[in-house]
């Protein structure tokens, strides 16, 4: 067996192990006791609503994917009448596999989340420990499914086709699906959340998750389809993209090295998954333990295991200088990722000054809540941007000397950057677990409230929910930064693809040395590319806006027309499904223009300015995308926690003017942090991948 | 006489002509009748307040400028012990001249604005025509002063030193002053505006400009120091920078051409000023005419005159192909500038859908005002970014063939871009006139209200004020786009400066071919550079935030402690000066960190990554700076007009919930459009200029 075959075998074994572990966790969660009939009824509402949405969404996406698959068959990587038809078939199959695997991960996530929510709710009656474990292990099922299927998919596609370019097709399948899943889920969840709060909390003054509110089930469904399925698709996509970028770069290097670097990518990714398995398996919380500490410490455990095991594996299998440098690059990624997470925490944690200052500013009125929140959001961009910049530069510089001596030039440095991204994303299993934990306990809190499980259970789920929010901010900083490094690596992959294509077209081996800012075509691409994330997020937010206005109308209608609903008369139930239908229809309607816009803009720029303009376009997209994603995610998290801080009795507490202002801030922040911000990630990745797989076409057919 | 001497003579003559015309306008305005003693008292308050602030601000800036002058003497363009000391002395003198000319233009602006405001107020009793003429001609004094002094300064410095690099020193003087003047003025004006509205309009429900409001004079002073003096410094800076960039590029080309291209720059700039003079002189309004039409049509007249006269001058003096191509480039700039202005108008005009949709969204609550306003602000970025990208690319492509045949490479193309910027800024005299008209009639409106000049006069000044707001949005789009092209040209100037410096250091003639995105040091610069405008604007907005909180406290204190003030008892006057002092002190305190941050960040990146990182840094700065400046200016204008739209009786009209929400939107928009947004322009220019004049130092002392 060659080293590459060993590495692929390890990857597939560990992926299978993670599925086994996920199945065990699934059964464990399912076995937790649940007996309350009221909870069962409401949980069933949520489960059905989530599955209905997913079914309709996947139907729409199946149409999109089919069209895309046909286009790929006809045109990619080369028009079928020009290149070899078989390559196009392979590319199409890889693409389809990417979409299917992504859907699968989302579907598994929804399955477990809609079980774990009621288990965690009922467990909350017994104490924080069982409730936490139900929520956490439920989230971990999703984590294992996402990372396991991405590793399995990448390894299988690579083993079958032995061509890294096919991975770009697989990755494009994953990310085009994620683009719509994240956007659609994001619009659904925030439509419901914002409308429920606006009529319920603000107008009528009834508590969150009050069963009288017609949008309350839609809100809980939204947590699942947006934060579980959408987020899962997003991180599945990031993980696949980072591996694909690294493998494309590794292929370039491995022409001379017998598959060593390709093997390293697989071994490191496998170790990341293994570390996450161990981290999840050992996660515990004391009887009265702090859930935030439990979540964070399991993340740190995973990080440490990854660092140790990769060092061991490098010593064992790859004990030469170039490989140790690569190990260094991936450690840089890991460390900087943790540091960026900590700075994100600073801006969104209610024990720190930004959240408190925004809460204090709320006393002067909502305009100041907004202004100070936007300002701190802008400030929060700096450490993350510096972190990404420094980790990319350091990873490159660590690996560059090898590039210089081996004559591989920038390629080795770019491989270093891509391995920093792999390092940062190594703990993605843990991240997904923590991220999916959030909506599960959020749902559990809703079930406790709607099922009248008592004050103690409510307090416990409140605490679990709040821990989910804090940890989410950290993991989000992590995810955005990792996406940042990944797209930098994808820019390198794009250049490599262009050069391969140019060589095939007989235009010389090193056709494109780079992209010079002073070249006006590059500059043109940069400026247009920079505008894309802004427009993309605007379209999503306007979608939420329009959709929420429709739903608010429906909620008002129900309160007006259904007798006894407002007063909470026994036996009067609102028409929950009407709200779910509005959210579903609206989300599916609004997700299309935003997603298509990003794709079409890439094609237009490519056909106008060719590969050179596309290089600039990707850069502009990365720069403004990172800026806006960080800004929106962080200020959204900050407003959310400011509101909670006021609600916990500060600056006047619940019902005060400061509270009203803070609620307005939170409502603005909701689509920022859960619709637009995280979708930008996916948008950047999709655009980068389209660029790569279209490189031959852009080379042969462009205006300039 | 050489052609260059002729061109310089023309420039100086036309600059002098503009001063003469400004003096005539000044006297004309001064001669308008004013007799109302109440108006005289209040106008005197405003005049004194504005002059006090300006005096204190210039004192602070004098300290800063002195320190900077000493540093320039010691280190720039080369450490004095290494290069020739005389060059350093010249550079310092150019720098000082830049600061002095900028102050002068600001001072003249304040002088006339604080006279024209009361003239326009009293004229409003007679009708719209005399009131409009007083406001417009008052603004035109400022326009003539700004453009005349910038042309005179640039021509004089060039004639004395015959070295385009010295112009960078002059430009740096102008822009470092503008950075602080715009930031300080912006903080002052929005502190006062926001606080006055918050306590007056929102809490107490008293009208805008009610004389009982202790902050009302500060608010009117703010219009002058922010929108007149600050804006004047800003556009003085842009105008000088665009000429300086074009002249640096022209010098490179003129090594072989005997001063032709340098002469073209001066001739075109002179014609721009001449066109503005004619445009101002011919501006008229009918008895019941529409002021918006009057302002816009005078802008279009100026544009047409510029196009015709430059064509004539080119045929007469520069009738060779390269020069006609340059003429084409400047026309591209002019046309695209107008188009960008029109798209800005679309997003901020209350007859168009964005403003109306935001007004409609306000019915659902302030969160939707904010969300939809931010979304449309994001959308508005796209046409302007495409416009800048297309004009830069087209201007380059028009001129590139000459570069190719003459062996001048990219330099000729970059010169084309810089001439597109000169073309776009050709009508800057008109822009400043229109921009200064705004605060003058805004002040006039305040005086009419405070002096009880009657309902008819109030209606007229309201209409004039609203026209000012509409036109302001267009000119702002123009100014940001022109700044965008200018900084692209400055990037070219930076490369040229680096190559000149490298040659002097014996490192070869074409040391720096460009900045490759794939170079991780460039990439590092890009990511850090992109974060700077976000942090810069955050610091300014937090400054406004803090300062407004202080002032709101003071207003509350006065209403509580001064007996009879709230009730409007005859003879009871609030302590206006206390509010002015708070605004002054706060503005001076808050402007320093933001300004220094941008400068220090440039130095840090330069000393770490050298000229290569700085190239990336400038690019990142330009891209995110344009994005944020356009977004903030446009959404600010949009919110302002949405509020006015609701106030004019739509969506529930004054006092409705939609109105309250729209007021919150406007309050958020105020620092967006008048503090942060327009300051970013200056920030980008300052950073670009520092980069250029520090190029030798960064070449010799950097980590990488």
Tokens 């356009």: give the residue: B630
Over residues B11-26, the mean pLDDT reads 96
- With a CB cutoff of 8 Å and minimum separation 6, the contacts of A478 are A337, A338, A340, A341, A344, A424, A431
Whether the upstream peptide bond of residue A138 has omega within 30° of 0, thus cis, is no
Look at B385 and A515 and tell me if their CB atoms are within 8 Å.
no
Per-residue buried b or exposed e for B559-582, using 16+ beta carbons within 10 Å of the residue's own CB: beebeebeeeeeeeebebbbbbbb
Look at B535 and A372 and tell me if their CB atoms are within 8 Å.
no
Look at A668 and B367 and tell me if their CB atoms are within 8 Å.
yes
pLDDT number for residue B403: 63
Whether pLDDT at B509 is above 80: no
* E-only strand ranges, B319-440: none
Report B:518-557 residues touching A (Cβ under 8 A).
518-524, 526-528, 530-531, 534-535, 537-539, 541-542, 544-545, 548-549, 552
pLDDT number for residue B407: 60
pLDDT number for residue B34: 86
Residue of A384, A406, A353 whose CA lies nearest to A477: A384
Please provide the average confidence, as pLDDT, over all residues in chain B.
Answer: 89
Token digits for B290? 């529409």
Whether pLDDT at A371 is above 90: yes
A614 touches chain B (CB under 8 A): no
Neighbours of A207 (CB within 10 A): 11
Partner residue facing B530 (CB), from A366, A371, A385 = A385
Distance, in Å, from the CA atom of B230 to the CA atom of B479, rounded to the nearest integer, reads 14
Look at A393 and B521 and tell me if their CB atoms are within 8 Å.
yes
Among A201-205, A533-537, B591-595, the range with the most confident prediction by mean pLDDT is A533-537
B677 touches chain A (CB under 8 A): no
Distance, in Å, from the CA atom of B538 to the CA atom of B597, rounded to the nearest integer, reads 11
Higher pLDDT, B539 or B492: B539
Distance, in Å, from the CA atom of B5 to the CA atom of B620, rounded to the nearest integer, reads 39
- With a CB cutoff of 8 Å and minimum separation 6, the contacts of B270 are B7, B10, B11, B14, B15, B151
Report A:300-359 residues touching B (Cβ under 8 A).
none
Residue of A415, A391, A397 whose CA lies nearest to A260: A415
Token digits for A168? 């770009």
Select from A194, A347, A377, A378 the residue whose CB has the most chain B CBs within 10 Å, as the one to mutate to test that interface.
A378
Over residues B320-327, the mean pLDDT reads 89
Select from B367, B412, B542 the residue whose CB has the most chain A CBs within 10 Å, as the one to mutate to test that interface.
B367
Residue B404 pLDDT grade (very low, low, confident, very high; cuts 50, 70, 90):
low
The domains of chain B are located at 3-499+511-700
The gap between the terminal CA atoms of chain B, to the nearest Å, is: 49
User: pLDDT (tens digit, 9 = 90+) per residue, A550-561?
Assistant: 898 899 999 999
If DSSP codes are grouped into helix, strand and coil, which group holds residue B84?
Answer: coil
Distance, in Å, from the CA atom of B22 to the CA atom of B15, rounded to the nearest integer, reads 10
Query: pTM for this one?
Result: 0.93
Which residue from A minimizes the CA distance to B552?
Answer: A364
**Region class of B66: left (phi > 0), else alpha (psi between -120 and 50), else beta:** alpha
pLDDT number for residue B97: 95
Which residue from A minimizes the CA distance to B516?
Answer: A516
Partner residue facing B541 (CB), from A371, A538, A671 = A371
User: pLDDT (tens digit, 9 = 90+) per residue, B167-183?
Assistant: 999 999 999 888 888 88
A598 touches chain B (CB under 8 A): no
Lowest mean pLDDT among A618-632, A635-649, B27-41, B390-404: B390-404
Over residues A450-463, the mean pLDDT reads 89
Over residues A25-37, the mean pLDDT reads 92
Token digits for A173? 């399948």
Distance, in Å, from the CA atom of B350 to the CA atom of A382, rounded to the nearest integer, reads 36
Look at A664 and B365 and tell me if their CB atoms are within 8 Å.
yes
Distance, in Å, from the CA atom of A369 to the CA atom of A302, rounded to the nearest integer, reads 37
Partner residue facing B517 (CB), from A364, A515, A521 = A515
Q: In whole angstroms, how far apart are CA B173 and each of B166, B346, B644, B682?
A: 11, 36, 39, 12
Over residues B140-149, the mean pLDDT reads 93
Look at A527 and B389 and tell me if their CB atoms are within 8 Å.
yes
Lowest mean pLDDT among A426-440, B57-71, B290-304, B501-515: B501-515
Instruction: For chains A and B, count residue pairs whose Cβ atoms are closer than 8 Å.
Output: 244
Over residues A482-509, the mean pLDDT reads 84
Whether pLDDT at B229 is above 80: yes
Distance, in Å, from the CA atom of A138 to the CA atom of A110, rounded to the nearest integer, reads 10
Which residue from B minimizes the CA distance to A489?
Answer: B518
- With a CB cutoff of 8 Å and minimum separation 6, the contacts of A389 are B523, B524, B526, B527, B528
User: pLDDT (tens digit, 9 = 90+) per residue, B514-573?
Assistant: 889 888 899 999 999 999 999 999 999 999 988 988 898 899 999 989 988 888 888 888
Which residue from A minimizes the CA distance to B537?
Answer: A375
Residues of B in contact with A193 (CB under 8 A): none
If DSSP codes are grouped into helix, strand and coil, which group holds residue B48?
Answer: helix
Residues of B in contact with A366 (CB under 8 A): 366, 664
Over residues A35-58, the mean pLDDT reads 89
A273 touches chain B (CB under 8 A): no
Q: What is the DSSP annotation of B629-680? A: HHHHHHHHHHHHHHHHHHHTTGGG-TTSHHHHHHHHHHHHHHHIIIIIHHHH
User: pLDDT (tens digit, 9 = 90+) per residue, B348-384?
Assistant: 888 899 999 999 999 888 999 999 999 999 999 999 9
pLDDT number for residue A232: 87
Total length of chain A: 704
Select from A398, A525, A623 the residue whose CB has the most chain B CBs within 10 Å, as the one to mutate to test that interface.
A623
Lowest mean pLDDT among A488-497, A680-689, B473-482: B473-482
Whether pLDDT at B231 is above 90: no
Report A:386-445 residues touching B (Cβ under 8 A).
386, 388-390, 392-393, 396-397, 410, 413-414, 417
Whether pLDDT at A405 is above 80: no
Look at A364 and B548 and tell me if their CB atoms are within 8 Å.
yes
pLDDT number for residue A416: 92
pLDDT number for residue A408: 62
- With a CB cutoff of 8 Å and minimum separation 6, the contacts of B96 are B65, B69, B173
Lowest mean pLDDT among A248-252, A469-473, A657-661: A469-473
Residue of B274, B321, B326 whose CA lies nearest to B302: B274
| Assembly ipTM | 0.92
Residues of A in contact with B379 (CB under 8 A): 534-535, 538-539
pLDDT number for residue B254: 79
Whether pLDDT at A134 is above 90: yes
Distance, in Å, from the CA atom of A397 to the CA atom of A419, rounded to the nearest integer, reads 13
Residues of B in contact with A397 (CB under 8 A): 520
Lowest mean pLDDT among A161-170, B260-269, B378-387: A161-170
Read off the DSSP letter of residue B505: T
Please provide the average confidence, as pLDDT, over all residues in chain A.
Answer: 89
A257 touches chain B (CB under 8 A): no
Measured in angstroms, the CA of A492 and the nearest CA of chain B are apart by 7
If DSSP codes are grouped into helix, strand and coil, which group holds residue A400?
Answer: helix
Token digits for B659? 């109105």
B612 touches chain A (CB under 8 A): no
| B685 neighbors B391 (Cβ within 8 angstroms) | no
Look at B528 and A389 and tell me if their CB atoms are within 8 Å.
yes
Distance, in Å, from the CA atom of A576 to the CA atom of A581, rounded to the nearest integer, reads 9
User: pLDDT (tens digit, 9 = 90+) per residue, B243-254?
Assistant: 999 998 888 887
Whether pLDDT at B188 is above 80: yes
Look at B371 and A541 and tell me if their CB atoms are within 8 Å.
yes
| A275 neighbors A427 (Cβ within 8 angstroms) | yes
Distance, in Å, from the CA atom of B477 to the CA atom of A483, rounded to the nearest integer, reads 33
Measured in angstroms, the CA of A443 and the nearest CA of chain B are apart by 24
Which residue from A minimizes the CA distance to B546?
Answer: A361
Measured in angstroms, the CA of A371 and the nearest CA of chain B are apart by 6
Token digits for B92? 């310092």
Whether pLDDT at A118 is above 80: yes
Q: Write phi, then psi, for B82 (nearest 5 degrees).
A: -105, -45
Higher pLDDT, B277 or A592: B277
pLDDT number for residue B409: 66
Distance, in Å, from the CA atom of A32 to the CA atom of B350, rounded to the nearest integer, reads 59
A703 touches chain B (CB under 8 A): no
User: pLDDT (tens digit, 9 = 90+) per residue, B602-645?
Assistant: 999 999 999 999 999 999 999 999 999 999 999 999 999 899 89
Partner residue facing A664 (CB), from B367, B514, B631 = B367
B240 touches chain A (CB under 8 A): no
Q: How far is CA A616 from the centre of its chain?
A: 25
* Percent of chain A whose pLDDT exceeds 70: 99
Residue A403 pLDDT grade (very low, low, confident, very high; cuts 50, 70, 90):
low
Token digits for A385? 């941007």
Distance, in Å, from the CA atom of A495 to the CA atom of A505, rounded to the nearest integer, reads 15
Residues of A in contact with B202 (CB under 8 A): 365
Residue of B325, B265, B391 whose CA lies nearest to B8: B265
Distance, in Å, from the CA atom of B550 to the CA atom of B583, rounded to the nearest integer, reads 9
Q: Based on the number of CB atoms within 10 Å of its own CB, is B390 exposed (0-12), middle (13-18) or buried (19 or more)? A: middle
Q: Alpha helices of B76-163 — where are they, by DSSP H? A: 85-123, 128-161
Look at B518 and A410 and tell me if their CB atoms are within 8 Å.
yes
Residues of B in contact with A549 (CB under 8 A): 361, 364, 368
pLDDT number for residue B472: 78
Residues of B in contact with A520 (CB under 8 A): 392-393, 396-397, 413, 417
Higher pLDDT, B139 or B506: B139
Residue A601 pLDDT grade (very low, low, confident, very high; cuts 50, 70, 90):
very high
Look at B520 and A375 and tell me if their CB atoms are within 8 Å.
no
Whether pLDDT at B257 is above 80: no
């Amino acid at each position: 067996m060659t080293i590459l075959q060993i590495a692929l075998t390890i990857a597939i074994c560990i992926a299978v192990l993670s599925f086994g572990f996920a199945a065990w966790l699934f059964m464990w969660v399912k076995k937790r006791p649940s007996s309350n009939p009221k909870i069962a009824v409401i949980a069933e509402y949520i489960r059905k609503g989530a599955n209905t949405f997913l079914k309709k969404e996947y139907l729409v996406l199946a149409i999109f994917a089919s069209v895309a698959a046909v286009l790929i068959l006809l045109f990619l990587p080369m028009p079928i009448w020009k290149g070899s038809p078989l390559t196009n078939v392979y590319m199409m199959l890889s693409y389809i596999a990417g979409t299917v695997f992504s859907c699968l991960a989302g579907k598994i996530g929804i399955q477990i989340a809609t079980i774990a929510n009621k288990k965690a709710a009922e467990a909350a009656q017994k104490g924080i420990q069982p409730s936490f474990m139900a929520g956490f292990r439920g989230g971990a099922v999703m984590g294992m499914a996402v990372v396991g299927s991405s590793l399995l998919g990448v390894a299988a596609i690579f083993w079958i086709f032995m061509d890294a370019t096919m991975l770009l097709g697989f990755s494009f399948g994953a990310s085009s699906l994620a683009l719509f899943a994240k956007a659609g889920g994001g619009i659904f969840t925030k439509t419901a959340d914002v409308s429920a709060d606006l009529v319920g909390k603000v107008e009528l003054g009834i508590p969150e998750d009050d069963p009288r509110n017609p949008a309350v089930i839609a809100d809980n469904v939204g947590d699942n389809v947006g934060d579980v399925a959408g987020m899962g698709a997003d991180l599945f996509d990031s993980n696949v993209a980072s591996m694909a970028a690294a493998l494309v770069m590794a292929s370039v290097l491995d022409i001379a090295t017998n598959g060593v670097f390709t093997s390293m990518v697989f071994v490191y990714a496998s170790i990341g998954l293994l570390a996450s398995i161990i981290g999840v398996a050992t996660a515990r919380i004391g009887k009265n333990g702090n859930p935030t500490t439990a979540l964070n410490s399991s993340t740190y455990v995973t990080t440490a295991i990854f660092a140790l095991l990769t060092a061991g594996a490098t010593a064992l299998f790859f004990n030469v200088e170039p490989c140790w440098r690569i190990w260094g690059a991936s450690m840089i990624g890991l460390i900087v990722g943790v540091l960026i997470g900590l700075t994100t925490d600073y801006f969104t944690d209610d024990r720190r000054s930004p959240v408190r200052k925004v809460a204090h500013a709320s006393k002067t009125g909502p305009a100041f809540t907004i202004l100070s929140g936007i300002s701190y959001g802008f400030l929060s961009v700096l450490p993350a941007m510096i972190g990404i910049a420094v980790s990319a530069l350091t990873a490159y510089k660590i690996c560059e000397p090898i590039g210089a001596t081996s004559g591989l030039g920038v390629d080795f440095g770019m491989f270093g950057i891509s391995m920093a991204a792999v390092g940062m994303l190594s703990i993605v299993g843990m991240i997904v677990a923590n991220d999916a934990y959030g909506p599960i306990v959020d749902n559990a809190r809703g079930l406790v409230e709607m099922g009248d499980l008592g004050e103690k259970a409510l307090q416990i789920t409140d605490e679990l929910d709040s821990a989910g929010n804090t940890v989410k901010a950290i993991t989000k900083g992590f995810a955005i930064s990792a996406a940042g490094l990944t797209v930098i690596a994808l820019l390198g992959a794009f250049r490599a693809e262009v050069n391969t294509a140019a060589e095939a077209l007989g235009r010389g081996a090193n056709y494109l040395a780079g992209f010079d800012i002073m070249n006006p075509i590059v500059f043109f691409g940069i400026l247009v590319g920079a505008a894309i994330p802004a427009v993309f997020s605007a379209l999503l937010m306007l979608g939420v806006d329009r959709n929420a206005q429709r739903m608010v109308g429906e909620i008002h209608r129900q309160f007006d027309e259904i007798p006894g609903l407002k007063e909470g008369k026994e036996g009067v139930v609102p028409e929950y499904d009407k709200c779910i239908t509005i959210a579903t229809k609206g989300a599916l309607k609004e997700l299309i223009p935003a997603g298509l816009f990003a794709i079409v803009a890439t094609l237009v720029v490519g056909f106008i300015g060719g590969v050179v303009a596309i290089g600039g376009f990707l850069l502009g997209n990365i720069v403004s995308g990172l800026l806006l994603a960080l800004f929106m995610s962080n200020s959204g998290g900050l407003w959310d926690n400011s509101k909670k801080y006021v609600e916990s009795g500060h600056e006047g507490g619940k019902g005060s003017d400061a509270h009203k202002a803070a609620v307005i801030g939170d409502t603005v922040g909701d689509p920022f942090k859960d619709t637009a911000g995280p979708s930008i990630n996916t948008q950047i990745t999709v655009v980068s991948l389209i660029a790569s797989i279209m490189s031959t076409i852009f080379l042969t057919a462009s205006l300039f």
